[in-house]
Amino acid sequence: MLKFANIKEVVIPENGTPTQVVAIFDKNDTLMWRKKYSVDNFRLTNIDKSDSVQVTLTNDYAFQQYSIDEGATWNSFTGDEYGRTQTVVLRPGNSVIFRITTDVSYDRTSKFSMVGNGKVIASGEVMSLRRVNYEGNIDPVKFDSLFKGCTQLVIADFILPSTLCVEVSQRIWNYGSYDSMFAGCTSLKWVPTGMLPTTVLSPNCYRMMFDGCSSLKQAPYLLGYPKYDSDSQTHATGFYYRMFNACSSLDYLKCTLPEYGLTEYTGNCNQMLADVASTGKLVKNSDVDESLWRSGYVGTISGWTISNY
């Protein structure tokens, strides 16, 4: 089983191309893995030393391509406009990268599935999976259920675009942008604390996002405020519903949610922290009374310490 104390990363320029160096160290600070790669495309890497993993990406994009030789050769997905699927086998140390060659003005569902005992890092530019020209677009871009059930995923080392939680037009909200994105990824150990930079929460945007990620110890910082719809005169709802439910290793969370986000509407944070670690630390908005977090509505965190940021 993969064990590590921390992940150290740095982005450096190399001949004008953004390059990322990721190094993984075990609990004794012994280097286990180090790799340098471009961050222009979304990438899956099998870091296991002996086992392979079969990766399948299904979507409807006619312009989706993949490469298993660092971009020297690009291959188109198989299928038709109603469904395209590509499967690759990643042997130990191998990667696959993805790109879309043309802007499209519509959204489609993408979904990874994995088979085998390999251990996978997901990294790079996630929008190379879903490159969309927003002009005239009536369907918002989403990553809901992208890795749902992928038990081989151990690290998700990328930042999600903040724009996907806001409305695409004056009339359309992006509902469920990241709903269940990592649900059931029981081996997921690490995500960057800055993974979710948005300050605007749309309806159901992070609903069940990490549900059942039992190996995840530290959550990404939650910096958002519920978006207000002037037409309906209501705030967005359901955004943190069961977000970390059954994350039994989770013992740290920073959340800036204001008091009205916890109290004004039902479902926003219901069971958000149910069945997390018995002890931990919550850093909250200073304007929120501690009793709201300890009410049981968000889950049982009676053994956690709570402080203000």
pLDDT in tens, 285-306: 999 999 999 988 899 899 999 9
Check whether 117 has a pLDDT greater than 90.
yes
- Given a contact cutoff of 8 angstroms between Cβ atoms, the answer to whether 7 and 85 are in contact is no
pLDDT at 290: 93
- The answer to whether residue 240 sits within a structural domain is yes
Give the type of residue at 115. V
Q: Answer for the pair 112, 85: CB distance below 8 angstroms, yes or no.
A: no
111: in domain:
yes
What radius of gyration, in Å, describes the C-alpha atoms of the chain?
20
Task: Specify if 220 maps to a domain.
Answer: yes
Could you tell me where the beta strands, DSSP code E, fall in the chain? 6-14, 17-25, 31-38, 42-46, 53-59, 64-67, 75-76, 78-80, 83-90, 95-100, 111-116, 120-124, 153-157, 200-201, 225-226, 228-229, 234-235, 252-255, 280-284, 304-308
Do 190 and 281 have their domain in common?
yes
Q: Where are the beta strands (DSSP E) in 180-303?
A: 200-201, 225-226, 228-229, 234-235, 252-255, 280-284
- What would the mean pLDDT of 270-289 be, rounded to a whole number? 95
Which carries the bigger pLDDT value, residue 52 or residue 261? 52
Residues 48 and 127 grouped into a single domain: yes
- Residues 9 and 157: beta-carbon distance below 8 Å: yes
15-19, 175-179, 228-232, 297-301: which is most confident: 297-301
Task: Provide the percentage of residues in the chain whose pLDDT is more than 90.
Answer: 42
Q: Tell me: do 156 and 84 sit in the same domain.
A: no
Give the strand order in the sheet containing 78-80: 78-80, 83-90, 53-59, 111-116
Question: Is 104 domain-assigned?
Answer: yes
Domain shared by 28 and 63, yes or no: no
10 vs 8: CA distance, rounded Å: 7
Please report how many Cα atoms fall inside a 13 Å half-sphere around the Cα of residue 112, on the Cβ side. 31
Q: Which of 95, 112, 139 is the last residue of a domain?
A: 139
Average pLDDT over every residue of 266-270: 83
State the pLDDT at residue 238. Answer: 87
Q: How far is CA 22 from CA 31, 161, 220, in A?
A: 11, 21, 18
Q: Are residues 113 and 157 in the same domain?
A: no
What integer pLDDT is reported at residue 140 of this predicted model?
55
pLDDT band at 112 (very low <50, low <70, confident <90, very high): very high
3-state secondary structure of 164: helix
Cβ atoms 154, 189 nearer than 8 A: yes
More confident residue, 125 or 227: 125
Q: Give yes or no: residues 294 and 280 share one domain.
A: yes
- The token duo for 269 is 């944070």
pLDDT at 267 over 70: yes
Same domain, 28 and 109: no
| Residues 157 and 305 grouped into a single domain | yes
Q: What is the pLDDT of residue 16?
A: 42
pTM score: 0.84
| 306 shares a domain with 177 | yes
In this prediction, residue 134 has a pLDDT band, given cuts at 50, 70 and 90, of very low
- What's the domain range around 7? 1-37
- Same domain, residue pair 208 and 289: yes
Round to whole Å and give the CA distance between 271 and 241. 6
Residue 246 banded pLDDT, cuts 50, 70, 90: very high
Among the ranges 129-138, 167-176, 178-187, 224-233, which has the highest mean pLDDT value?
178-187
State which of 139, 158, 174 marks the end of a domain: 139
What type of residue is 127?
M
Give the per-residue pLDDT at 33: 54
Query: Can you read off the two tokens belonging to residue 93?
Result: 């140390």
Domain-embedded: residue 144: no
Q: Is 25 domain-assigned? A: yes
In this structure, the answer to whether residues 172 and 299 fall within a common structural domain is yes
30 with 53, same domain: the answer is: no
The segment with the largest mean pLDDT, out of 74-83, 125-134, 284-293, is: 284-293
Q: Identify the weakest region by mean pLDDT among 89-103, 162-176, 185-199.
A: 162-176
How many domains does the chain fold into? 3
- Report the pLDDT averaged over residues 10-39: 51
Q: What CA–CA distance (Å, rounded) separates 185 from 208?
A: 12
Last residue of a domain, one of 139, 166, 182: 139
